[in-house]
Structure 1
Amino acid sequence: MDYRMTIIIPVFNEIDNLDRIHSTFTDYFSKSKTKSKVLFIDDGSTDDSFNKISEICTNNPDFEYLKFKENCGLSAAIKAGIDHIETELIGYIDADLQTTPYDFDILLEDIDNYQAVIGYRGKRKDTLSKKIQSLIANSIRRSLINDGVIDTGCPLKVLRTDVAKKIPFFKGMHRFIPALILLQNGKIKQLKVQHFERIAGTSKFNIFNRSLKALRDTFAYRWMRKSYINYTIEKSKIS
């Protein structure tokens, strides 16, 4: 089948959400004008998530998977997805479905003119503590790198695959995908998307990995931005 986009869904102990992911994406695929498929990345789940993923993917070409031997983290899951995708476009969404795949069609309307189109959550449906953690993390990032990104934590993104494959990777990279594309002199567009309460499963983030790790990773990005190499080849002759 001629797919244009592959959507990365990292999974770590999300057994209670996988049937809903399957049904929601099956319906989305039947309605979207863009031919797409899902690539699950099982990040070393210790519940029954992988068995459910395997069941979903059996005899269903719209769903594929990669399974990590052990838990490696969100940035590694995204990197593995990017490394293995060959479609023109890469989508990204979290397994909690607090954003909806139907909003991919909003982002896709502008992707031909940008290297990435990313969502920002209009009306957040998180708990107060989660909102505070995100506010702190976003404030730290904005004050230190000032990349103009409204909501770097929004998990709904569409990237051009050739650009995504050039992103330099490090732990915590998932917080800086738009900023890392800007390092390549790429253009991004930000559009408001819907946000919903988490219906099932539990969040894997807390004040430590939202704020303290974000501070460490922001300094890593600042160093990379200062040292990043960009060049344009005007002419070549290579045999």
Structure 2
Amino acid sequence: MASQPVDIVPRLSVVVPVKNEADNVAPLLAEIEAACAAHGPFEVIYVDDGSTDATAAVLAEQAATRPWLRRLSHDRSCGQSAAIRSGALAARAAILVTIDGDGQNDPAFIPALVRALDAGGSAIALAAGQRVGRKDTGFKRLQSRIANAVRKTVLKDGTRDTGCGLKAVRREVYLRLPYFDALHRFVPALVRREGYDVVLVDVVDRPRLTGQSKYGFFDRLWVGIVDLAGVWWLINRRRMPPQVRELG
């Protein structure tokens, strides 16, 4: 596929957080390139969150032939939310697309997310993927169903699946969200907190390309409860932002 000039401001910035996903980099990059090519200039920002495998070397190899590929590296593992935020801060496009680096999110759905965001106008700040046909184990699907049901009841965010990494969001709005670890699981609720609407797009789940999940049940349970309480507090302490105009 033809390269694009690197000095053109991209329309999309695709942020991919990764940790020890060396075998998934090349196939996922090819799919992202195919999905984004029709949307004009784009950039892909891989954020290596302290990998100890060959992820960095594979990314360097891929960058040699893809001028739109940018590479960021954390000196230590700081988590998925930190990696996404690093990518968002570095991004040059007005629209951020986030996608997990393990291949479970299919990049073919990126155009649908961007179209949904565009169609909503300025009132819509987030097009969030919600997975159908989950390919996780039965126990992990049960975990997600319980967690999502509790979250919907507490936060009333109108979303049945905030765990899907595939999202398109207006960068200026994303950077206004209060940052904390695990922010990526609460983006719809916090975007609504800022006074914007969210549109939901069904995306078909698939198995990760290679490797194993980095998440377990017990290492997320208690942290998730604390995060949920914190986000509930943030939402309930927020007043509707005023419309500001300069008078002279």
TM-score, normalization by structure 2: 0.89
Q: In structure 1, the residue corresponding to 2:180 is in which secondary structure? A: coil
For the 8 Å contact 1:7–1:93, the answer to whether it is kept is yes
Q: How far did 1:237 drift?
A: 5.5
Q: CA RMSD in A?
A: 1.7
Report the equivalent of 1:47. Answer: 53
* Alignment map for 1:105-124 (pairs within 5 Å): 105-112=111-118, 113=120, 114-124=124-134
Partner of 1:23: 30
Paired amino acid for 1:20:
P
Structure 1 residue 141: Cα displacement: 1.2
Matching of residue 13 in structure 1 with residue 13 in structure 2: no
Offset at residue 229 of structure 1 (A): 4.8
Asked whether 1:206 is paired with 2:213, we answer no
Q: Percent same amino acid among aligned pairs?
A: 30
Measured in 2, the distance between the counterparts of 1:61 and 1:232 equals 41
1:236 aligns with 2:242: no
* Amino acid in structure 2 at the alignment position of 1:92: T
Aligned to 1:98: 104
TM-aligned CA deviation for residue 166 of structure 1: 0.7
Are residue 140 (structure 1) and residue 150 (structure 2) matched? yes
Deviations 1:125-169 (A, max 9, x none): 111122122122212212221211121011110001111111111
Q: Secondary structure of 2:86's match?
A: helix
Contact 1:133 1:211 in 2 (8 A): no
Task: String of CA shifts for 1:29-77, please: whole Å, max 9, x gaps.
Answer: 44x3343221001001111111111221235222111100100011111
Match of 1:183 among 193, 198, 218: 193
Q: Distance in 2 between matches of 1:230 and 1:84?
A: 29
Q: Which residue of the other structure, out of 62, 65, 69, is the alignment partner of 1:63?
A: 69
Find the aligned partners of 1:139 and 1:197 in 2 and give their Cα distance.
23
Structure 2 gaps, min length 5: 1-7
Calculate the TM-score normalised by the size of structure 1.
0.93
Is the aligned partner of 1:219 residue 2:225? Answer: no
Residue of structure 2 in register with 1:150 after alignment: 160
Q: Which amino acid aligns with 1:135?
A: R
- Structure 1: gaps spanning 5 or more residues: none
SS in 2 for 1:109: helix
Report which stretch shifted further, 135-144 or 87-96: 135-144
How many residues in Structure 1 have an aligned counterpart in Structure 2?
A: 237
Contact 2:125–2:170 (Cα < 8 Å) also in 1: yes
Q: Contact 2:194/2:241 (CA < 8 Å) preserved in 1?
A: no
**Native 8 Å contact 1:115 1:188 kept in 2:** yes
Kept in 1, the 8 Å contact 2:47–2:83? The answer is yes
Alignment counterpart, residue 192 of structure 1, candidates 175, 181, 202? 202
Q: Following TM superposition, by how much is the alpha carbon of 1:233 offset from its aligned partner in structure 2, in angstroms?
A: 4.6
Aligned residues of 2:127 and 2:198 also touching (Cα < 8 A): yes
Tell me how far apart the structure 2 counterparts of residues 86 and 27 of structure 1 sit (CA, whole Å): 20
Residues 73-121 of structure 1: per-residue CA shift (max 9 Å, x gap)? 1111111111111211000000111121110111111212221111111
Moved more, 111-120 or 53-62: 53-62
